[in-house]
């Protein structure tokens, strides 16, 4: 990873710690966090500072809130603790020693799904008489972009790849939204006259064109086409303008679990 | 600036923000096992700080109460995910609270509502006399002093982002800063805040 890019990503730690990133930047930075211990430590420290700032004007909520909370928790099962479980990261399996960084990495990978509930709830309008905290009607999400809908979907799943030159790409797919998004970090530019082409592999094994990557090492791109049944996402190098079918071996394949 | 070393012993983390109060990390661990009494104690020890933050961001009292309620339900649900190696329990809870408050104000409808409610909520803020509030007022004095160490633009950028719920891009526009520089002001300011508050990690 070159120094300039690292600085760029790193500079977002403060804005991330105070939730001052939009949904896309947040997803990108969380991708970066998975691989940057320095940023994780910094974010933790800055969140402590922000928490101190936020504690400076306490206001007791009405007792009705306490009653509602204590009644509400009886109907909610606390999530289990995070333990090691298979996560599709083909390039960097967690070490057998399950060291701290590996566990953090697992946590980071799982953060997007964990935050989904928050994103969904808060899109729901206030003042609903019967209030269902962990779900919202789908039509609440209509105004979101494809990228936002995929990244915040309940079933969003991530598949990552790292390349020898340090660049990284992550595919996020939501079967329920029926779309996939690719996020790249520090992608080297394709050779002159060439372009990175995206493909969705159909259940029959056919590579269907899903668009071209822009000339941007750090891009967030929704793939064209229906991804609800796709079995993989591929990247190939094609002549400018793309090709109706791949003309070269893929430089990356992201297998998608059914 | 050195990375902050993780601390595997969770109990010591409450020192910076929770003072002599109950061990919030231990209460969270009990909650994760389904202990509702422990969670009630946790609520009593932290609700005025969580609600104070939510109210500052959301501004509308009725909506703030809903968000505070959501926040505590989410804290209950995620209690097993609290990792003392990554910060204090209060900091973890405030992070959840802030995220929810910000998500609320970023919905367009809520954004219009909070403007109407602005005056009202600013008059309704009152400090109570619980031990939590007494401790928090000490904390507040430290924070005010720490804020005095920031440049005006750092302080404004942090307040617009953290209490205003604006993105760094919006903060840049609000402060007439070149695009991309607000995030730097926010980060520099937070680093200075962290260092001058002396957050114990």
Contacts of B126 in chain A (CB under 8 A): 59
Q: Are B114 and B176 in the same domain?
A: no
pLDDT at B16 over 60: no
Which DSSP helix (H) or strand (E) runs through A9? helix A3-10
- In chain B, what is the straight-line distance between the N-terminal and C-terminal CA atoms, in Å? 14
Residue A139: per-residue pLDDT: 40
Instruction: Please state the domain count of chain A.
Output: 1
**Residue of B48, B72, B190 lying closest to A69 (CB–CB):** B72
- Per the domain annotation, does B136 fall within a domain? no
Q: Are B123 and B201 in the same domain?
A: no
Mean pLDDT of B100-110: 79
Q: Are B123 and B153 in the same domain?
A: no
**How close does chain A come to B81, measured CA to CA in Å?**
6
Q: Are B113 and B36 in the same domain?
A: yes
Residue B110's domain spans which residues? 12-128
Interface probe, candidates A8, A49, A66, A112, chain B, greatest B C-beta count within 10 A = A49
- Per the domain annotation, does A236 fall within a domain? yes
Q: Are B124 and B190 in the same domain?
A: no
- Identify the CA nearest to A49 among candidates B28, B98, B182, B102: B98
- Per the domain annotation, does A52 fall within a domain? no
| CATH number of the structural domain spanning residue B177 | 1.10.10.10
Asked if the Cβ–Cβ distance from A58 to B133 is below 8 Å, we say yes
Residue B118: per-residue pLDDT: 47
Instruction: Please state the domain count of chain B.
Output: 2
Model pLDDT for residues A14-59, shown as the tens digit of each residue: 999 999 998 888 988 988 898 899 999 999 999 999 999 999 889 9
Q: Are B31 and B116 in the same domain?
A: yes
Asked if the Cβ–Cβ distance from A52 to B73 is below 8 Å, we say no
Question: Among all residues of chain B, which has the CA nearest to that of A144?
Answer: B107
Q: pLDDT-derived band of residue B108, with 50, 70 and 90 as boundaries?
A: low
pLDDT at B89 over 60: yes
Q: Are B96 and B157 in the same domain?
A: no
**Residue of A40, A66, A73 lying closest to B47 (CB–CB):** A66
Decide which of B100, B128, B156 is a domain's last residue. Answer: B128
**How close does chain B come to A174, measured CA to CA in Å?**
21
- Percent of chain B with pLDDT strictly greater than 70: 74
Model pLDDT for residues B65-79, shown as the tens digit of each residue: 999 999 999 999 999
- Per the domain annotation, does B4 fall within a domain? no
Asked if the Cβ–Cβ distance from A20 to B78 is below 8 Å, we say no
Q: Are the CB atoms for B73 and A69 separated by under 8 Å?
A: yes
Residue A218: per-residue pLDDT: 81
Decide which of B67, B95, B128 is a domain's last residue. Answer: B128
Q: Which residues, numbered 119 to 178 in chain A, qualify as contacts with chain B under a Cβ-Cβ cut-off of 8 Å? A: 119, 121-123, 125-127, 131, 133
Cα separation, A119 vs B4, in Å, equals: 29
Q: Which residues, numbered 48 to 77 in chain A, qualify as contacts with chain B under a Cβ-Cβ cut-off of 8 Å? A: 48-62, 64-66, 68-70, 72-74, 76-77
Q: Are B92 and B172 in the same domain?
A: no
- Per the domain annotation, does A10 fall within a domain? no
Q: What is the pLDDT along chain A (258 residues), one digit of tens a residue?
A: 444 444 577 889 999 999 999 888 898 898 889 889 999 999 999 999 999 999 988 999 999 999 999 999 999 999 988 775 444 444 444 444 444 444 444 444 444 444 444 444 433 333 333 333 333 334 444 467 788 888 888 888 888 877 777 778 888 898 888 889 998 887 888 888 888 899 998 888 888 889 888 888 888 888 988 898 888 898 888 888 888 888 888 888 888 887
**How close does chain B come to A17, measured CA to CA in Å?**
8
- Per the domain annotation, does B141 fall within a domain? no
Question: Alpha carbon of A215 to those of A240, A248, B65: distances in Å?
Answer: 11, 20, 46
Q: Are B123 and B44 in the same domain?
A: yes
- Per the domain annotation, does B7 fall within a domain? no
Confidence (pTM)? 0.60
Residue A239: per-residue pLDDT: 85
Interface probe, candidates B30, B40, B63, B77, chain A, greatest A C-beta count within 10 A = B77
Residue B123: per-residue pLDDT: 40
- Most distant CA pair in chain A: distance in Å? 67
Counting Cα atoms < 13 Å in the Cβ hemisphere of B144 gives 8
- Per the domain annotation, does B1 fall within a domain? no
Residue B131: per-residue pLDDT: 60
- Per the domain annotation, does A4 fall within a domain? no
Residue A240's domain spans which residues? 157-255
- Per the domain annotation, does B48 fall within a domain? yes
- How many residue contacts between A and B have a Cβ separation below 8 Å? 272
| CATH number of the structural domain spanning residue B71 | 1.10.1740.10
Q: Are B121 and B152 in the same domain?
A: no
- Per the domain annotation, does A176 fall within a domain? yes
- Per the domain annotation, does B43 fall within a domain? yes
Asked if the Cβ–Cβ distance from A61 to B51 is below 8 Å, we say yes
- Per the domain annotation, does A6 fall within a domain? no
**How close does chain A come to B51, measured CA to CA in Å?**
6
Residue B20: per-residue pLDDT: 55
Decide which of B82, B99, B128 is a domain's last residue. Answer: B128
- Per the domain annotation, does A199 fall within a domain? yes
- Percent of chain B with pLDDT strictly greater than 90: 62
Asked if the Cβ–Cβ distance from A114 to B81 is below 8 Å, we say yes
Asked if the Cβ–Cβ distance from B194 to A133 is below 8 Å, we say no
User: What ipTM goes with this model?
Assistant: 0.80
Question: Among all residues of chain B, which has the CA nearest to that of A42?
Answer: B3
- Per the domain annotation, does B59 fall within a domain? yes
Q: Are B115 and B166 in the same domain?
A: no
Asked if the Cβ–Cβ distance from B104 to A126 is below 8 Å, we say yes
**How close does chain A come to B70, measured CA to CA in Å?**
7
Mean pLDDT of B27-52: 96
Residue B45: per-residue pLDDT: 95
Asked if the Cβ–Cβ distance from A61 to B133 is below 8 Å, we say no
Q: Are B26 and B79 in the same domain?
A: yes
């Amino acid at each position: 990873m070159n120094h300039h890019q690292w600085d760029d990503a790193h500079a977002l730690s403060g804005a991330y710690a105070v939730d001052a990133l939009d949904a896309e930047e947040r997803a990108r930075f969380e991708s970066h966090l998975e691989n940057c211990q320095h940023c994780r430590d910094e974010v933790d420290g800055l969140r402590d500072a922000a928490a101190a700032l936020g504690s400076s004007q306490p206001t007791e909520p009405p007792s009705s809130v306490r009653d509602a909370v204590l009644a509400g928790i009886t109907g909610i099962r606390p999530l289990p603790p995070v333990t090691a479980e298979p996560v599709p990261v083909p390039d960097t399996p967690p070490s057998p020693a399950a060291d701290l960084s590996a566990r953090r990495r697992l946590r980071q990978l799982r953060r997007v799904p964990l935050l989904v509930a928050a994103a969904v709830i808060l899109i729901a309008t206030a003042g609903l008489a019967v209030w269902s905290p962990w779900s919202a009607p789908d039509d609440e999400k209509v105004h979101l972009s494809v990228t936002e809908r995929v990244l915040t979907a309940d079933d969003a799943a991530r598949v990552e790849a790292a390349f020898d030159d340090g660049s990284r790409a992550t595919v996020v797919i939501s079967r329920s939204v029926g779309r996939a998004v690719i996020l790249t970090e520090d992608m080297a530019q394709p050779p002159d006259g060439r372009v990175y082409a995206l493909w969705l592999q159909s259940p029959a094994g056919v590579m269907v064109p899903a668009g071209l990557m822009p000339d941007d090492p750090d891009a967030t791109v929704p793939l064209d086409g229906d991804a609800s049944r796709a079995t993989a996402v591929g990247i190939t190098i094609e002549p400018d303008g793309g090709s109706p079918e791949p003309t070269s071996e893929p430089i990356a394949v992201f297998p998608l679990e059914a | 600036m050195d990375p902050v070393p993780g601390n595997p012993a969770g109990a010591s983390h409450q020192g910076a923000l929770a003072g002599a109060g109950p061990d919030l990390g231990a209460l969270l661990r009990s909650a994760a096992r389904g202990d509702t009494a422990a969670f009630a104690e946790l609520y009593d020890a932290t609700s005025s700080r969580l609600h104070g933050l939510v109210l500052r961001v959301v501004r509308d009292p009725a909506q703030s109460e809903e968000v505070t309620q959501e926040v505590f339900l989410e804290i209950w649900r995620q209690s097993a995910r609290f990792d003392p190696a990554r910060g204090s329990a209060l900091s973890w809870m405030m992070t959840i609270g802030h995220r929810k408050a910000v998500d609320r104000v970023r919905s367009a409808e809520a954004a219009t509502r909070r403007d109407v409610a602005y005056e009202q909520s600013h008059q309704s803020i009152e400090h109570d006399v619980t031990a939590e509030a007494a401790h928090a007022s000490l904390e507040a004095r430290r924070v005010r002093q720490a804020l005095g160490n920031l440049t005006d633009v750092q302080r404004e950028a942090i307040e617009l982002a953290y209490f205003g719920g604006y993105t760094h891009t919006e903060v840049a526009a609000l402060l007439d800063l070149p695009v991309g520089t607000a995030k730097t002001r926010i980060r520099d300011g937070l680093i200075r805040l962290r260092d001058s508050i002396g957050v114990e990690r």
